[in-house]
């Protein structure tokens, strides 16, 4: 018996349900396009997903689920281009500055910017205290975790 046919699995066999892109604007954005079927699934089944509940407990806030408004944790998914009849709805996640310099001295290098002859790792050699916005980072991570779980395996709730 000979194999005379090659079986190919491509986009025709598995429909594209989402895509990710990057917008080099200021501030930069992650662009996520989601097809209508997984969005409908998400809307109807979000309450069943344990990962959503776990993330809500960890962050102490609710996963917002009105897809026509900013949604996800803290409303980080913002409606972008919603053309009538388009197969995907697009949303952006703004990547804001994560570190902000304060006027306080860095407590690790006492404001010198150096430790043991090298640039201080805590202030990057600036000598001033850096504040880091973990809330937003945690919201983005948790929102993508919930979306990833649901879009990857929409029937496994
Ligand atoms: Zn320092």
Asked whether residue 36 falls in the same domain as residue 105, the answer is no
What is the rounded distance in angstroms from the CA atom of residue 31 to the CA atom of residue 24?
10
Residue 98 alpha carbon to ligand 1 centre in Å: 17
Residue 113 alpha carbon to ligand 1 centre in Å: 5
Asked whether residue 120 falls in the same domain as residue 71, the answer is no
Asked whether residue 19 falls in the same domain as residue 61, the answer is yes
Residue 101 alpha carbon to ligand 1 centre in Å: 11
| Cα 40–Cα 95–Cα 139 angle in degrees, nearest 5 | 55
Residue 119 alpha carbon to ligand 1 centre in Å: 8
Residue 108 alpha carbon to ligand 1 centre in Å: 5
Q: Smallest Cα–Cα separation from 31: which of 72, 81, 92? A: 92
Q: Tens digits of per-residue pLDDT, 90-139?
A: 999 998 788 888 999 999 999 999 999 999 998 989 999 988 888 988 99
What is the rounded distance in angstroms from the CA atom of residue 82 to the CA atom of residue 156?
28
Alpha carbon 63 to chain centroid, angstroms: 13
Give the confidence band of 13 by pLDDT, cuts at 50, 70, 90.
low
Asked whether residue 21 falls in the same domain as residue 86, the answer is yes
User: For residue 94, what pLDDT is reported?
Assistant: 93
Domain that holds residue 8: 1-98+133-157
Eight-state DSSP code of residue 47: G
Asked whether residue 12 falls in the same domain as residue 70, the answer is yes
């Amino acid at each position: 018996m000979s194999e005379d046919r090659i079986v190919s699995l491509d986009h025709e066999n598995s429909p594209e349900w989402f895509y990710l892109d990057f917008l080099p604007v200021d501030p930069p954005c992650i662009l996520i396009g989601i097809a209508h079927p997984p969005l409908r699934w998400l809307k109807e089944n979000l309450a069943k997903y344990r990962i959503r509940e776990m993330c809500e407990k960890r962050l102490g806030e609710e996963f917002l689920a009105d897809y026509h408004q900013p949604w996800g944790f803290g409303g980080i998914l913002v409606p972008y281009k919603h053309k009538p009849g388009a197969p995907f709805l697009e949303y952006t996640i703004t990547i804001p500055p994560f570190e902000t310099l304060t006027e306080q001295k860095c407590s690790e290098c006492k404001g010198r910017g150096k430790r043991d002859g090298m640039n201080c790792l805590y202030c990057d050699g600036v000598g001033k205290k850096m504040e880091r916005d973990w809330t937003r980072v945690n919201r983005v991570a948790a929102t993508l975790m919930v979306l990833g779980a649901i879009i990857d395996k929409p029937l496994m709730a």
